[in-house]
Amino acid sequence: MEQAQRIIIVGGVAGGASAAARARRLSESASITVFERGPYVSFANCGLPYHLGGEITERDALLLHTPESLSARFGIEVRVNHEVLAIDRVRKTVRVLDRLSGETGEEAYDALILAPGAAPIRPPLPGLDDARVFTLRNLPDLDRLMAALDPEIRTLSVVGAGFIGLETVEALRQRGLNVHLIERSPQVLAPLDAEMTAPLVATLRAHGVALHLGETLQRIETAGESLQLRLESGASIASDLVVLAIGVRPETALAREAGLELGETGGVWVDEQMRTSDPAIYAVGDVIEVRHVVDGRPVLLPLAGPANHQGRIAADAIFGRASTYRGSQGTAICKVFEQTAASTGLNEKALQAAGIAYRKLYLHAGDHAGYYPGATPVSLKILFATESARLLGAQAVGEKGVDKRIDVLAVALQAGLTVDDLAEMELAYAPPYGSAKDVVNLAGMAAQNLQDGLLQLIGAEEVGQAVAEGAQLIDVREAEEIATGLLPGARNLPLSQLRQLLSLLARDREVIVYCQVGLRGYIAQRFLAQQGYRVRSLNGGYKTWSMWQQSRTFRPG
Amino acid sequence: MEQAQRIIIVGGVAGGASAAARARRLSESASITVFERGPYVSFANCGLPYHLGGEITERDALLLHTPESLSARFGIEVRVNHEVLAIDRVRKTVRVLDRLSGETGEEAYDALILAPGAAPIRPPLPGLDDARVFTLRNLPDLDRLMAALDPEIRTLSVVGAGFIGLETVEALRQRGLNVHLIERSPQVLAPLDAEMTAPLVATLRAHGVALHLGETLQRIETAGESLQLRLESGASIASDLVVLAIGVRPETALAREAGLELGETGGVWVDEQMRTSDPAIYAVGDVIEVRHVVDGRPVLLPLAGPANHQGRIAADAIFGRASTYRGSQGTAICKVFEQTAASTGLNEKALQAAGIAYRKLYLHAGDHAGYYPGATPVSLKILFATESARLLGAQAVGEKGVDKRIDVLAVALQAGLTVDDLAEMELAYAPPYGSAKDVVNLAGMAAQNLQDGLLQLIGAEEVGQAVAEGAQLIDVREAEEIATGLLPGARNLPLSQLRQLLSLLARDREVIVYCQVGLRGYIAQRFLAQQGYRVRSLNGGYKTWSMWQQSRTFRPG
């Protein structure tokens, strides 16, 4: 392929900056021009909440590059405050507005890369245009919000409990402000299934965040000095300021007006080399629709890692290099005070929607060996294909070691590994770092047992019905462990005495056994099954049941 | 397959205990008896140094199970202080010595599992039988050593700088003792290549450990109250006590005397279902020889994770289940004061010995985003096949996040992934946990560039020769960064000015560029290559060169 000589890039943050740098490494002769509508290029989007919260003390730390540094290092021309208004695909030119001078000009390209990103969603509700309603997407947004936080400001409402919403809530609490968190769905952090978010809800409440789950904002009214957020339920929340973190929408206006094809999700359609429906135009980052690697579905997954990777691939394609984008798997992570939550692949809701037959397994185990000090539990949920046992998704929550397990499982998912492979993983073990059988190994082994028919599981959501139909519910934890409570209708027969107390169990009724996290339940289940009982073990034990139970009552109303 | 009714297991720690528990879950009708020569079963072998050092305050925390708990929970009979003296393979019996009573008896088996472990190597040197010379393999060893540490004891020598040796050194320093570390090879921690151990040597020295690398113990002499360790170099070290941590040797006596086949490494030969050359006898854990997954070579890899996994597979095999052992990849990790070092797969020494064509790549990057506080560098080395680009091994060292990267790469190696796959990995990114381009991604991208011919590398060990032959050595770091020093013969042309200063470079001589960690060196190399220069970039930059340089002088003599 012939070398493009004039490359124009629209947008100079993650994907655009990556594309520019890669293009230069591939060609010294190309002219590379980046037009960035905002005043900054290559800033640390993901760092914004942490400067708000004070962890990142220097605002300048968020500026990864300046136009000058990119020019000096790469010979790339970066024009900030320049907005590309239109593309003339026939003449291969763009019309550019200098936002400071107000002048417009025209620039010719051989290859054009669109990396305009996504914009915060601002639903058309009454009152949302008030100057006290903020978003947090870029540095000017952050500057505005921080400038507004004068000492009289005491109470803020954050609307939306996704990654940005949760990070913003934590940042505002760290500044000592009163915070309301309003979320339309009945859970926080939608990429996780509801029960896995129970520890996050608990920590948000423990940190004094006023949670309003399953509540929809209807309008914002001015009430004297403050704002009143009116919810559909009829409730009303008084706030000095509001931060909207409802989500983002791809900035497709430019592409749409140029007649480029959009995907069914509304993102710009691209092929696996990031080429749009016009072969001279590429698109990368939050503006595009990607394929989900698990089910091939088109999705919008605005994530920094994939954006960077896509920028590199677009530059490769321009210079005839064969790299391709394999799709996204949605690996993401969020710090919520002392908790970390992360996930990769599809969750249960998405698998159901996609009609994929799956099984699930919960496991709770220490982030490192229990006999070494400081171990904290990692709660893990894996989802795998019923037939092939291939991993489809994983979610984890805990104080430590969550990122490691999700990264390990993200690679497993990328490689198409099965639960057998999880059982076999040879991970690094010394007491400060893990266990001889890591939680990932244990999950794999338990899933193998499930596949092999050794393990018979019942889900937390099924227990009530089974007991109502006559099942005997047996808590096999030791007596001193059950202070936290038994499941309704359960009786305690500790595993250590089960062999002696077998006569207490009726032989003609199903038995459901559970322990704290599932391991001893499995041992009891194997014992009873071999004694001729119909028996199932509660998936993930009391702990999972308790998380599930909490998730049903997130909404206090 | 018919169910074995009488299972005897020799050894009740990692592999033996796992086999026993799995066997019971598969069969309630089998009789399962574990003979353990020592006084404890299922103790936390890997935790011993941490109780010595005081992190694990309660000795009982190291006892994961007791004979009573195994009996109550699993219906397994555990006889501690019982040594199996001989196997009669024809009659399928074992002769057992009760070490407390001195009586012997005979027990019949249908299936026998050998899990006797490995014993510390005690070379036949004069003086090593002194009561002040210890090993640290089991709880009685630990008890003896701790009992000997009375207040008059001030100075200890640890012989052997492997995992146990290093952990013991740290534990003794934490107790405020003077510590000498004597190692025959010129580096610590043999699973890593020498240059990757430089940060470990630095931290050992910073913590006041007297290092004697490349020094071989010849004999131990008594000198008044203390011991004199005589080294082959002629040096002599005075110590109150000595801990031998030279390594372990599989406890094969029982298997050997029963005529079971041993492998070429001296470990018991087993098939992939852990069956020895006698189909009724299985062996698991440190006593066996395993296949290395990378090159198929037979190796001894005494590791807790694989031992547990093998125990499970042996039990499966006895009950006709088809699980198999895929081999070991040697994933291991070690805490050395504030540093962590870990590796998986083969190192450079092993690849050379195996005659496998490989390439290597060094990368240094933060454990998380540099703009979020507390980031510390992870130094990573990956080794991959020259042709296929398949990952063959990885080593990492740093203060944080080393376990995560090696686990991610261990899964990549298990799955047979290539450097392209590393570049594509979608890992969990938020500023407290990682970077949009993680160090593993960066290593994959750099390796891709190397494979594609975009990146031309020169190793630290080759620079001197190249400069002697006339190459121009250019440090492209900014002026304020070079306080740590330039490479001999280098001159500083900062990357930010390289485009302007090009005329300073002679066109007819090779150029070698380097920066701090390699990224800017690559940018400079691409720039110069496209300007027509013959140019190579220093693999891993100044930091790798500096680690390599230090590794050449570990031995002060």
How much of chain B exceeds pLDDT 90, in percent? 93
CA torsion B78-B83-B85-B86 (nearest 10°) is 20
User: How far is residue B202's CA from residue B339's CA, in Å, rounded to a whole number?
Assistant: 10
CATH code, A521: 3.40.250.10
Distance (Å) from the C-alpha of residue B226 to the closest C-alpha of chain A? 33
Are residues A379 and A547 in contact, defined by beta-carbon separation less than 8 angstroms?
yes
List all residues of chain A from 315 to 374 with a beta carbon under 8 Å from chain B. 321, 323, 326, 328-335, 340, 342, 344, 369, 371-373
pLDDT at residue number B555: 62
Nearest CB partner across the interface for B373, out of A55, A75, A426: A55
Position A4 confidence tier, pLDDT thresholds 50, 70, 90: low
**What stretches of A187-319 adopt beta strand conformation (E)?**
210-213, 217-223, 226-231, 236-239, 241-244, 248-250, 281-283, 290-291, 298-299
Q: Is residue A499 part of a domain?
A: yes
Q: pLDDT value at position B557?
A: 39
Same domain? A379 vs A439: yes
Confidence bin at A555 (pLDDT 50/70/90): low
The pLDDT tens digits of the residues spanning B358-402 come to 999 999 999 999 999 999 999 999 999 999 999 999 999 999 999
Q: Count CB atoms within 10 A of the CB of residue B221.
A: 14
pTM check: above 0.90: yes
What's residue B3's pLDDT? Answer: 52
Q: Kindly report the CATH number assigned to the domain that includes residue A199.
A: 3.50.50.60
* A443 and A467 assigned to the same domain: no
From chain B, pick out residues whose CB is under 8 angstroms from the CB of A404.
Answer: 403-404, 407
Q: Do A436 and B312 touch (CB under 8 A)?
A: no
* Residue B346 covered by a domain: yes
Q: pLDDT by residue (tens digit) across B198-237?
A: 999 999 999 999 999 999 999 999 988 899 999 999 999 9
Model confidence band, residue B1 (pLDDT cutoffs 50, 70, 90): very low
B204 and B346 part of one domain = no
Closest C-alpha to B78, from B138, B26, B17, B5: B17
Contact residues on chain B for A527, CB-CB shorter than 8 A: 28
Rounded to an integer, what distance in angstroms lies between the CA atom of residue A416 and that of residue A405?
Answer: 16
Q: Which residues contact A346 (CB under 8 A, 6 or more apart)?
A: A292, A294, A295, A330, A354, A356, A383, A392, A393
Task: Tell me the shortest Cα–Cα distance from B57 to chain A, in angstroms.
Answer: 9
Q: Under a CB-based contact definition with an 8 Å cutoff, are residues B367 and B432 in contact? A: no
Dig out the tokens for A138 from the structure: 């870029």
B438: three-class secondary structure by DSSP? coil
Structure tokens given for B192 = 């890593």
pLDDT of residue A224: 85
Interchain proximity A328–B426, CB inside 8 Å: yes
**Residue A243 contacts residue A184 (beta carbons within 8 Å):** no
Residue B504, both tokens? 């300073």
CA angle A101, A104, A110 (to 5 degrees): 130
Q: Band of the pLDDT at A557, cuts 50, 70, 90? A: very low
Answer yes or no: do B286 and B232 share one domain: no
Query: Chain A partners of B448 at a C-beta cutoff of 8 Å?
Result: 323
Q: Please compute the mean of the pLDDT values over residues A507-519 and round it to a whole number.
A: 95
Across all residues in chain B, what is the average pLDDT?
A: 95
The total number of residues shown for chain B amounts to: 557
Q: Are A428 and B342 in contact (CB < 8 Å)?
A: yes
Task: Report the SS3 class of residue B414.
Answer: helix
Kindly state the average pLDDT of the residues B524-529. 95
Q: Which of B46, B403, B430 sits opposite A335 (nearest CB)?
A: B430
Q: Where do we find the tokens 């394999």?
A: A326
Question: Chain B residues with CB inside 8 Å of A426's CB?
Answer: 303, 305-306, 328-331, 344, 410, 414
Q: Mean of the per-residue pLDDT values for chain A?
A: 95
* pLDDT tens readout for residues B281-310: 999 999 999 999 999 999 999 999 999 999
Q: Locate all alpha helices (DSSP H) within A194-303, ordered by sequence.
A: 198-206, 253-257
B405 pLDDT band, cuts 50/70/90, is very high
How far, in Å, CA of B451 to CA of A473, rounded?
Answer: 60
Chain B residues in contact with A191 by the CB 8 A cut-off are none
Three-state DSSP class for A185?
coil
Q: Is residue B65 predicted with pLDDT exceeding 90?
A: no
Q: Tell me, what DSSP letter sits at residue A395?
A: E
Rg (CA), chain A: 27
Tell me the pLDDT tens digit for each residue of B242-293. Answer: 999 999 999 999 999 999 999 999 999 999 999 999 999 999 999 999 999 9
Say which range, B1-15, B105-119, B541-555, has the weakest mean pLDDT.
B1-15
Question: What pLDDT digit, counting tens, does each position of A242-288 carry?
Answer: 999 999 999 999 999 999 999 999 999 999 999 999 999 999 999 99
Instruction: Quickly count: other Cβ atoms within 10 Å of residue B288's Cβ.
Output: 33
Residue A124 lies in a domain: no
Q: Does residue B395 form part of some domain?
A: yes
Query: Considering the domain boundaries, does residue B327 fall inside one?
Result: no
Buried b (16+ CB within 10 A) or exposed e, A237-267: bebbbbbbbbbbbbbbebbeebebebbeeeb
Shortest distance between the Cα of B324 and any Cα of chain A, in A, equals 10
3-state secondary structure A52-117: HHCCCCCHHHHECCCHHHHHHHHCCEEEECEEEEEEECCCCEEEEEECCCCCEEEEECCEEEECCC
Q: Which residue of B has its CA nearest to A51?
A: B372
Q: Are residues B90 and B55 in the same domain?
A: yes
From B229, B246, B263, give the residue that closes a domain.
Answer: B246
Task: Map residue A352 onto helix, strand or coil.
Answer: helix
- Mean pLDDT across the stretch B354-358? 97
Q: CB of A379 within 8 Å of any CB in chain B?
A: no
Looking at A452, A481, A504, the residue that finishes a domain is A452
Question: Does B342 share its domain with B419?
Answer: yes
DSSP string, B275-331: B-SSTTEEE-GGGB-EEBTTT--EE----HHHHHHHHHHHHHHHTT-------B---
> How many C-beta neighbours within 10 Å does residue B279 have?
11
Q: Are A275 and A260 in contact (CB under 8 A)?
A: no
Contacts of B19 (CB under 8 A, 6+ apart): B9, B113, B115, B282, B284, B311, B312, B314, B315
Q: What CA–CA distances, in Å, run from B267 to A557, B115, B254?
A: 65, 12, 12
Could you say which residues from 83 to 112 on chain A have a Cβ atom under 8 Å away from some Cβ of chain B? none
Tell me which chain B residue has its CA closest to the CA of residue A163: B430
> Is the domain of A343 the same as that of A363?
yes
Tell me if B371 and A75 make a contact (CB, 8 A cut-off): no
Task: Give the residue numbers of B annotated as catalytic, written as ranges.
Answer: 46
Buried b or exposed e, range A428-464, using 16+ CB within 10 angstroms: bbbbbbbbbbbbbbbbbbbbbbbbeebbbbbbbeebe
Instruction: State the nearest Cα–Cα gap between B327 and chain A, in angstroms.
Output: 10
**Partner-chain contact A428 B69, CB within 8 Å:** no
Q: Using the beta-carbon criterion (under 8 Å), do A428 and B406 form an inter-chain contact?
A: yes
Give domain status of residue A87, yes or no. Answer: yes
Helix (H, G, I), strand (E, B) or coil at B197: helix
Model pLDDT, residue A376: 97
Q: Testing the interface with A: which of B294, B429, B438, B440 to mutate, by most A Cβ within 10 A? A: B429
**B487 falls within a domain:** yes
**A residues 383..442 contacting B (CB < 8 A):** 403-404, 406-408, 410-412, 414-417, 421, 423-434, 436-438, 441
User: Given an 8 Å threshold on Cβ–Cβ distance, is A417 in contact with B415?
Assistant: yes
Find out whether B301 and B290 touch, Cβ atoms under 8 Å: yes
DSSP B484: G
Residues in chain A: 557
Q: Confirm if B41 and B34 have CB atoms less than 8 A apart.
A: yes
CA dihedral B156, B162, B163, B169 (to 10 degrees): 20
User: Are B261 and B113 within one domain?
Assistant: yes
Catalytic residue from among A44, A46, A63, A369: A46
Helices (H), B197-251: 198-206
Q: Per-residue pLDDT averaged across B334-343, rounded?
A: 98
| Cross-chain residue pair B431–A46, CB shorter than 8 Å | yes
A237 and A148, same structural domain?
Answer: yes
With contacts defined as CB-CB under 8 Å, which chain B residues touch A307?
Answer: 436
Among residues B434, B452, B470, the one where a domain terminates is B452
How far is residue A506's CA from residue A508's CA, in Å, rounded to a whole number?
Answer: 6
Instruction: Report phi then psi at B61, rounded to 5.
Output: -65, -20
Token reading at A54: 């004070």
pLDDT per residue as tens digits for the range A103-150: 999 999 999 999 999 999 999 999 999 999 999 999 999 999 999 999
Q: Taking CA atoms, what residue in A is nearest to B404?
A: A404
Same domain? A432 vs A515: no
* A62, A309, A406 ranked by CB distance to B424: nearest: A309
Alpha carbon A337 to chain centroid, angstroms: 16
pLDDT at B2: 47
> Model confidence over A518-532: pLDDT tens digits?
999 999 999 999 999
Range of the domain at B494: 457-551
| Residues of chain B found within 8 Å of residue A335, distances taken between Cβ atoms | 430, 432-433
Q: Is residue A331 in some structural domain?
A: no
Higher pLDDT, B483 or A279: A279
| A547 touches B at CB < 8 Å | no
Cα-Cα-Cα-Cα dihedral of A369, A372, A376, A379, to 10°?
0
Contact between B341 and B405 under an 8 Å Cβ cutoff? The reply is no
Q: Residue A556 has what pLDDT?
A: 55
Do B479 and B420 belong together in one domain?
A: no
Q: Which residues on A lie below 8 Å from B441 (Cβ)? A: 305, 309
CA distance A226 to chain B (A): 33
On whether both B149 and B76 belong to a single domain, the answer is no
The pLDDT assigned to B220 comes to: 97
Work out how many domains chain B is built from and give that number. Answer: 4
Whether A531 contacts chain B with CB within 8 A: yes
Q: Per the structure block, which two tokens stand in for B252?
A: 């094969």
Give yes or no: A46 in active site. yes
* A372:B55 CB<8 A: yes
Chain A contact set for B47 (CB, 8 A): 369, 371-372, 431
Looking at the complex, report in whole angstroms how far the Cα of residue A448 sits from the nearest Cα belonging to chain B.
10
Separation of first and last alpha carbons in chain A: 63
Contacts of B14 in chain A (CB under 8 A): 436
> Tell me, what DSSP letter sits at residue A483?
G
- Is residue B322 over pLDDT 50? yes
